[in-house]
Structure 1
Amino acid sequence: MKRRLWFSVIVAAAIGPATVGGAARAGSADDYYPKRVWGSLEGGQMNTSLLVFRDLNRNGVYDLGDRPMSRVAVELDKPDGSTIMRLTNAGGFANFRMSATQRNFEVVDAGHYAFRVVPPPGYSFTTGNASQESDYVVSPGSPGDMIAKTTTHPVGLAADLTISGAVAAGTRVVLTGPDGLSAAAKVGPDGRFSAAVAPGEWLVDFSAGGATERRHVVVGAAPVVLSAFQGKGGPAVAPLPVEHVVGFDDLMTSPGVFEVPSGYGGLGWYNLVAMHQRFTDGPGYVNTTMSGEFIAYNSSGHPAQVFSDKPFDFTGAYFGAGWDDAEGETLILKAWRGDESAYDDRLVLSANGLVYFAADYRRITRLEIRTQHYWQAAIDDFAYRTGP
């Protein structure tokens, strides 16, 4: 009985007459679905935005395959002569709030505004529109009561491509490009070298004390860091025949985090976590993603391992710093054959952009991935080879 009485009250409230000035009358469609009265100030807000993207194919056009670039500085010159800056978000957008009535926002006065993108170190423009201008006018009834006469166009950035590495003093390094031309790289007193390169297939020849080594390197969308020249001489260990690349996208179908399980890709995994690139606010996860939507990192910034009872070759992977507070963090990679140490490399990470570490570690059984200060390293497209 109580349930029936409660239901009847609800129905009466739902279908009862409208009340105006204390007098009841039947409602109409105009009452329930009012139209906006145009011409008055809305008092709301709207973003005016500029998109910055990673131009992976370097063609100067925002097209399929390109990716948003997070944590890029975009300046806005205002009509009063002041300049403000906003960083791009995970979607690659630098947003400036626009309102004709809310005076604490960024775009509040009609007039001429100018956008200017400031690229991070190691990146150059591909689109030729680093600076863009537009006039803004008051438009009552629009979401922010203000509109742009012209909207911005996407700004493309691409990494300055290099092949770099570290060798012992006295080592000669010669690079041969896709055009067949060769040039010696300048090796500094600390044994480090870096050479500007173009996309394509390269040969890198090392020689020191009678020992030689040749590396085949494919340069794509990111700078390449080579593992250290061993300088041991003798015949090189042949690469294993079966190539693999794991991008961690086939582990998950929804945003979240997922511990990479042993057996994935036929290898053992310890303390590596996969997640959607935008699951956290770390810009480096977005900027390091190269394929799909998911990425991996060393859990809680602590050392992680990849291992197998059967020897495997670690070919390489894309690496970046997950968080902007970890800019300049050092990645330490070590590998073993059983209990014997085989490889030891270090490279600097950035949240602004990724590098490809061309490891060419052969016949190892364990790989350790750690960071010097225990920040999370973002990892994508982990490449390796196994036996038949």
Structure 2
Amino acid sequence: MKRGLLFPGAVVVAAAIGLAMVRGAARAGTAEDYYPKRAWGSLEGGQMNTSLLVFRDLNRNGVYDLGDRPMSRVAVELERPNGSTIMRLTNAGGFANFRMSVTQRDFEVVDPGHYAFRVVPPPGYSVTTGNASQESDYVVSPGSPGDMIAKTTTHPVGLAADLTISGAVAAGSRVSLTGPGGVGAAAKIGPDGRFSAAVAPGEWLIDFSAGGATERRHVVVGAAPVVLSAFPGKGRPAVEPLPVEHVVGFDDLMTSPGVFEIPSGYGGLNWYNLVAMHQRFTDGPGYTNTTMSGEFIAYNSSGHPAQVFSDKPFDFAGAYFGAGWDDAEGETLVLEAWRGDELAYEDQLALSANGPVYFAADYRHITRLEIRTQHYWQAAIDDFAYRTGR
């Protein structure tokens, strides 16, 4: 081929381009062409969620207000006009979503008529807002995103944990509880030495006695049930609590929604195999439900044992604990605290992905705390409280 000659196909391509340019320039567009208005009245053929929000009513006032948090993994039923019932779990944002469409018939809400929602709280939780059951009529509305709308929308449903103080004592022990205003609460001790008493929010004194040994604990009951460290039933050397109180919530370690190994020196303590992350970084509902302050939470990495330790003695006051994943519902948390090479404290408690318990440890003058789970699932941890010397 000589220089300057086109290959045969190039003529066709050039002609096509020229024709397109001529056609493209046939007329100028108008604003109506570029910004068309919707022709209302026909079916959209799309979809829209109809939803119900479930939240943790942390102040137990029956109102969704500042400070309350979404509650993940709560069952919400929807009864449809044909009498059938379907269930969806709330997501990390607290919403149970039901897909709505007139044309997409495999969705959950497809026919006009009367629908009824019902929130089914997990064990140990109660509705605070008085609206666990709600109803609404749905009508066809061509042109809306799902071609259907609700005549009335749902209202948020608040749940709160049933508050208790529980623990374990040695055989033959007695337990008495005194709450706000001097009100007492009965604590029935089972054959296994465990006890539990229903309580109200506020400050409580718990008195233990067995064989001449006595011990008094002071706890503040807030938004979660309280589990006390074990009473051994024998006198322990009197050890005064250290004077300087600290609480770490892991929010000051990072600013992005990722995962961050907690470094030694954080809060003046050393940390091993504990990771901090944003509560919604994974799909585990327990991370969202255990978070009590801020947006970040800690857990034992890969479910393996973790440690908090220091060359100088510290007191482990307590922390919120939950199960990170719903597959680990009922997992056993094992805590051991050491003074040098001497095991000073040991406790076990059950974990839930539905929400935390506050473990009131009051482990005094320890140098190492080991945190592990019996079946190697991740334990979610928030608001780790401890005391140090001056």
TM-score by length of 2: 0.94
Of the three residues 214, 218, 227, the one matched with 1:225 is 227
Partner residue in 2 for 1:127:
129
Q: How far 1:159 sits from its partner (Å)?
A: 0.2
Q: Give the aligned partner of residue 27 of structure 1.
A: 29
Report deviation, 1:167.
Answer: 0.7
Query: Could you tell me how far 1:181 is from its partner in structure 2?
Result: 2.6
**Aligned residue for 1:293?**
295
Q: Deviations over 1:310-361 (max 9, x none)?
A: 0000000000000000000000000100000001000000001110000000
Query: Which residue of structure 2 aligns with residue 89 of structure 1?
Result: 91
> Which structure 1 residue ranges, 5 or more long, are not aligned?
1-8
* 1:232 CA displacement: 3.0
Q: Equivalents in 1 of 2:232, 2:238: separation in Å? A: 11
% identity of equivalent residues: 89
Q: Secondary structure at the match of 1:150?
A: coil
The separation in 2 between residues aligned to 1:95 and 1:236, in whole angstroms, is 55
Amino acid across the alignment from 1:362: R
User: Could you tell me which amino acid in structure 1 is paired with residue 208 of structure 2?
Assistant: F
Residues 287-366 of structure 1 correspond to what in structure 2 (within 5 A)? 287-366=289-368
Q: From the superposition, tell whether residues 36 and 183 of structure 1 become closer, same or farther in structure 2 (CA, over 3 Å).
A: closer
Distance 1:147 1:319 in 2: 41
Root mean square deviation of aligned Cα? 1.6
Helix, strand or coil: the match of 1:249? Answer: coil
Instruction: Identify the residue that residue 281 of structure 1 maps to in structure 2.
Output: 283
- Determine if the alignment matches structure 1 residue 368 to structure 2 residue 380: no
Provide TM-score, normalisation by structure 1: 0.94
CA 1:141/1:344 → structure 2, altered by over 3 Å: closer, same or farther?
Answer: same
Q: Match of 2:200?
A: 198
Contact in 2 for aligned 1:327/1:351 (Cα 8 Å) = yes
Q: Distance in 2 between matches of 1:265 and 1:145?
A: 55
1:27: how far off?
Answer: 1.3
2: distance between equivalents of 1:339 and 1:24? 90
Other structure's SS at 1:31 match? helix
Matches of 2:22 and 2:305 in 1, distance apart? 69
Which segments of structure 1 move beyond 4 Å, counting only runs of 4 or more? 16-19
Mapped partners of 1:183, 1:48: distance in 2? 44
Q: How does 1:165-184 map to 2 (within 5 A)?
A: 165-184=167-186
Q: Partner amino acid for 1:220?
A: G
**Deviation (angstroms), 1:231:** 2.8
Deviations, residues 57-81 of structure 1 (Å, cap 9, x unaligned): 0000000000000000000000000
Report the 3-state secondary structure (helix = DSSP H, G, I; strand = E; otherwise coil) of the residue aligned with 2:188. Answer: coil
Quote how far apart the aligned CAs of 1:236 are.
Answer: 2.5
**1:104 partner amino acid:** D
Task: Select the structure of larger CA radius of gyration.
Answer: 2
Equivalent AA in structure 1 for residue 255 of structure 2: T
Distance in 2, matches of 1:160 and 1:296, equals 24
Do the aligned residues in 2 keep the contact of 1:248 with 1:274 (CA within 8 Å)?
yes
CA–CA separation in structure 1 for the residues paired with 2:59 and 2:186: 28
Write the distance in 2 (CA, Å) between the matches of 1:171 and 1:57. Answer: 34
